[in-house]
Structure 1
Amino acid sequence: MTAVPQAPVATDRPAHRDGNVLRWLGAYASSMIGDNVYYIALSWAAVQAGTPSQAGLVMAVSAVPRALLMLGGGVVADRFGPRKVVIGSDAVRCVAVLAVAALLFTASPGLWPLALLAIVFGAVDAVFMPAVGALPARVTSRGQLARVQGMRGLAIRLANVVGAPIGGLCVALGGAAAAFGLAGMLIAVSVPLLVSVRMKDLPADDEVAQRTPWRDLRDGLGYIRRHPVLAPLIVAIALGDLGFVGPLNVGLTLLADQRGWGASGMGWVLAGFGAGAGAAGMLLTVRGRLPHAGRVSALAILAGALAIGSLAYVPTVAAAVGVALLIGLLAGLSGALCGALLQTQADPAYLGRVSSVSGIVSLGLAPLSMPLTAAAIGWWGTGPVFVTSAVVCGLGGVLALSVAPLRRAELPK
């Protein structure tokens, strides 16, 4: 499992026709579907075993180790190689989920194993996510990275659409234990697929053993800070996420409740967003590359920010679905282009650390805006809060247009 198959010399073969990329994508999709089933099983089991507040605590506890350890996870991915880290992470997650499934089949242990599982998942995610971000550059050529980001976006949409219903059906038929078992098996499928993926090795670094992890972390942060494109790009991504996560999660729920759209109306709006994001992923998968990537991503962030601000003022569900479709298209486009720029601008030896810095904002800090968004809507209403969030998001686009190296950044042909 630790031997690294050598990738062949890079060719111009499109990523969606490359068996090596497709095996990686299959592993990623299977793992993400397993994650969705896992979260359904965890939430249901927590609600059944405790009070609603206790269940909420169990669901949130994984965010703590993820936020605290993710910078270190980037160092681990770069020191040991993202392939080994992803395979090891999926193996640990699989064993942990199946162990809890077996425990629930035989007993009713209460909340403690669920909380422990959530903590383990969060800690493993702290190394898994930076490694996942560093993998695409090792499985394909630089010219195919935008297409790979589009394919990755489609895999995420598929996991969200398929995983939740499968998890709910499994809970209904066999309870949380059966759902945990299914999640573990789906995650397990990714391991042999990842073992078969060929990777491009980086040049040997004889000084790795002599450097401390702390020095690697400082070197990575210094590399990002000095880079003319990566530093402003990560800030732009952070602003976009901070302005996006609150309104499109808790904010949408409160908006649907205030307007009387109900759960079905909210579901249609979310479906519109998912369809737009899927269309953006499909566009990049087919095209493979868009010219003027820096400028296009900045304009997409600005246009998406305007759409977010207007969502609170649309009068009907149909209009909200249309706006959500536009938000999904623009957010999917800007997200994929920003991800491709991160992949192509960063030295592959630093990609784990670059991904960890980007991920700690998106996955660690941005979710913290959700309770703040809910509280702010209670004080000032949906309109002002959505507009404020749109301004924060739009600042990312303004920054991207203002910094010349980022504005002129291009994807390789």
Structure 2
Amino acid sequence: MAPLDTARPVPARPAALPRVYLVWLIGTRASLLGDAVLYFALGWAASAHGGGMGALVLTAITLPRTLLLLPGGAVGDRFGARRVMIAGDTVMLAATLLLALVGLRLGTSPWLLVVVAVVIGTVDAFYLPATGSMPRRLVGKEQLPRALAMQQAGSQIASLLGAPVGALLVAASGLTGAAVADAVTFAIVLVVLVCVRPAFDVERSPRGEGLLTGAADGVRIAVGDPVLRPALLLTAAAAGLLLPVVSLLNPLLAREHGWGAGAAGLVAGGQGLGMIAVALVVSRRGTMRRIGRGAALGLCVSAPGIAAVALADTAALAVAGGIVAGAGSGLFACHIGPLVLTGVPDTHLSRMQALLVLVQSLALVVGNNALGALADARGAALAAAVCAVGVCAAGTVGLVLEPVRRLRQE
């Protein structure tokens, strides 16, 4: 009798991501780094005119972005995401070069900063939904989770590098140097977009459909869909309870413990490293098969990390908590993105991305203000503990909701 073959089959390695996607990813992440540098430089320049002007500049970015997001998503679905991105990069290339020239000759007047901020916020309203839908247009659905995970890792790396690189440029050449650097990145991504063509045909929305009607139709589909609706609610919970921990509560906790800005920066860096590590693993191995459960599990994983940050009596424990919270946040982001992009009709890709950004922005505004008030009244530790409980509760609800729990990624 012939011996039985007991050798285990070697699992097939995941197919490499398309080169066209990798080229697009490198170009857009370079542009994202340039944006982070410019945002730091704008904030620094505005702070020289007082806190009120600094708040006005930030509001000038946020307000038009929020008001125009849904129409911006409808524009992307109507005319094509690539065209919208090319138009946005062209406008921003001209705006940053003009900022550098005017700033060099006339200085950084407060109203120049406000005008530039309005331009940034307006372009973002159209650009963010378009760029969020591009991975679906460049890779197949089976590779989408890995592609989005790599995009998430690149975004986090750009965010981590943005502030220190911006500080170096501002110290060396002021706002003009930061504007020129950002203009260079816009030129790079503009060349990339002109050369890159979407590999997958995606149906556009009807030309006869009005932009406001199209925006409302995107909201209608999201609210009525049994998967997209809880996905948006989980996204709101993550934005309102998870994001403020490092950006808002971490500095307050560091001040309460007398740790200083360095420790607060290490906690924020720990969160970024946790997110990058998980994103790189997912980009290599893919998401969990039950993709909805993976998103909910990410929120549950982040809860003990937030609790550690809240209860830490040493900076080292807070940094460890930040790493765990970042890992959970990365797990959530790497699963919620493909869950939404694969569950929405092709005609509504940009609109759904716009709705995702809008939900995150509104939840973050509410969360920051509510948690800030609670921290002032009862301390930052209690506010962070509330975040831990809330994030854990949201993740648990996601684990038991049947439409999310049973959703599979083929």
Give the TM-score normalised by the residue count of structure 2.
0.92
Q: Distance in 2 between matches of 1:15 and 1:118?
A: 42
5 Å matches for 1:370-389?
A: 370-389=368-387
Please say if 1:34 is aligned against 2:57: no
Does the 8 Å CA contact 1:42/1:59 hold for their aligned counterparts? no
Tell whether the 8 Å contact from 1:36 to 1:160 is kept in structure 2 after alignment: yes
Q: Residue in 2 aligned with 1:21?
A: 21
The aligned residue for residue 337 of structure 1 is 335
Cross-structure match for 1:7: none
- Checking the alignment, whether the CA contact within 8 Å between 2:237 and 2:391 is kept in structure 1 is yes
Distance 1:109 1:327, change over 3 A: closer
Question: Structure 2 vs 1, CA of residues 14 and 111 (structure 1 numbering), >3 Å: closer, same or farther?
Answer: farther
One-letter code aligned to 2:57:
V
Work out whether residues 146 and 285 of structure 2, in 8 Å CA contact, stay in contact via their aligned partners in 1.
Answer: yes
In structure 2, give the amino acid aligned to 1:370.
N
* Other structure's SS at 1:283 match: helix
- Kept after mapping to 2: 8 A contact 1:242/1:393: no
Residue type of the partner of 2:82?
R
Residue by residue over 1:303-343, the C-alpha shift from the partner in whole angstroms, topping out at 9 and shown as x without a partner, is: 21232133210111111111111111111011111011111
Deviations 1:110-146 (A, max 9, x none): 1101101111111111111111111111000101111
Measure, in 1, the Cα distance between the counterparts of 2:89 and 2:361.
18
**Correspondence 1:258-337 to 2 at 5 A:** 258-337=256-335
Q: Do the aligned partners of residues 375 and 289 (structure 1) sit closer, same or farther apart at CA in structure 2, a change above 3 Å counting?
A: closer
Report the counterpart of residue 230 of structure 2 in structure 1: 232
The AA in structure 2 aligned to 1:384 is: L
- TM-score under structure 1 length normalisation: 0.92
What SS does the aligned partner of 1:228 have?
Answer: coil
Matched, 1:404 2:405: no
Please state how far the C-alpha of 1:27 moved relative to its aligned partner.
Answer: 1.7
Structure 1 gap ranges (5+):
1-11
Q: Which runs of at least 4 in structure 1 moved beyond 6 Å after TM superposition?
A: none
Relative contact order, CA 8 A, sep 6+: which one is greater?
Answer: 1
Superposed displacement of residue 374, structure 1: 2.2
Separation of aligned partners in 1, 2:199 and 2:179:
34
Residue identity in the other structure for 1:129: L
* 8 Å Cα contact 2:344/2:352 also seen in 1: yes
Instruction: Give the deviation of 1:351 after TM superposition.
Output: 1.0
Q: CA offset at residue 197 of structure 1?
A: 1.8
1:18-97 equivalences in 2 (<5 Å): 18-48=18-48, 50-97=49-96
Contact 2:274 2:326 in 1 (8 A): yes
Q: What letter is aligned with 2:35?
A: D
> What is the Cα deviation at residue 250 of structure 1?
1.3
- State the superposition RMSD in angstroms: 1.9
Identity %: 30
User: In structure 2, what is the Cα distance between the partners aligned to 1:269 and 1:204?
Assistant: 44
Contact kept, 8 Å, 1:246 with 1:367, in 2: the verdict is: no
> 1:143–1:201: structure 2 CA closer, same or farther, 3 Å change rule?
closer
Indicate conservation of the 8 Å contact 1:146/1:289, yes or no: yes
CA deviations 1:169-210 (Å, max 9, x no partner) are 1111111111111112112211111222221454666x8222
Q: How is 1:177-192 mapped onto 2 (pairs within 5 angstroms)? A: 177-192=176-191
Moved more, 389-398 or 87-96: 389-398
In the aligned structure 2, how far is the partner of 1:384 from the partner of 1:63?
29
Once residues 52 and 367 of structure 2 are traced to their aligned partners in structure 1, the CA distance between those partners, rounded to angstroms, is 19
Q: Does 1:145 align with 2:118?
A: no
State the distance in 2 between where 1:15 and 1:282 align: 16
Aligned partners of 2:114, 2:16: CA distance in 1, in Å?
Answer: 39
Residues 237-283 of structure 1: per-residue CA shift (max 9 Å, x gap): 11121111222211100000111111111111112111111101111
